[in-house]
Amino acid sequence: MNGKLSRWLYITIIVIVCILTAILILTACAQNIDTQYLRIHIRANSNSQADQDVKLQVKNAVTEYLTPLIEDDKTIDCAMHTISSQLPALQELAEEVLEENGFYYGASVRLCQEQFPARTYGSLTLPDGIYDALIIELGSGEGDNWWCVLFPPLCFVSAPSGDFAYKSIIAELWEKYVAN
Tens digit of pLDDT for each residue in 28-43?
A: 444 444 458 999 999 9
Note the pLDDT of residue 119.
85
- Provide the pLDDT for residue 126: 86
Distance linking the first and last C-alpha atoms of the chain: 38
pLDDT at 10: 74
**Domain residues of the chain, as ranges?**
37-179
Q: Are 44 and 103 in contact (CB under 8 A)?
A: no
Of 93, 94, 135, 130, which Cα lies nearest the Cα of 113?
A: 130
- C-alpha 60/C-alpha 74 separation (Å) is 23
- Which pLDDT does position 85 carry in this prediction? 96
pLDDT at site 7? 78
Q: Supply the pLDDT for residue 164.
A: 38
Q: What is the pLDDT at residue 11?
A: 81
- 132 HSE (CA, 13 A, CB side): 17
Beta strand pairing status for 157-158 and 124-126? unpaired
Query: 0.75 cut: is pTM over it?
Result: no
Note the Cα 16 to chain centre separation in Å: 35
Given a cut of 50, the residues of the chain with pLDDT beneath it are: 28-34, 157-174, 176-178, 180
Long-range contacts at 66-72 (CB < 8 A, ≥ 24 apart): 66/90, 66/150, 66/156, 67/153, 67/156, 67/157, 67/158, 70/150, 70/151, 70/153, 70/156, 71/153, 71/156
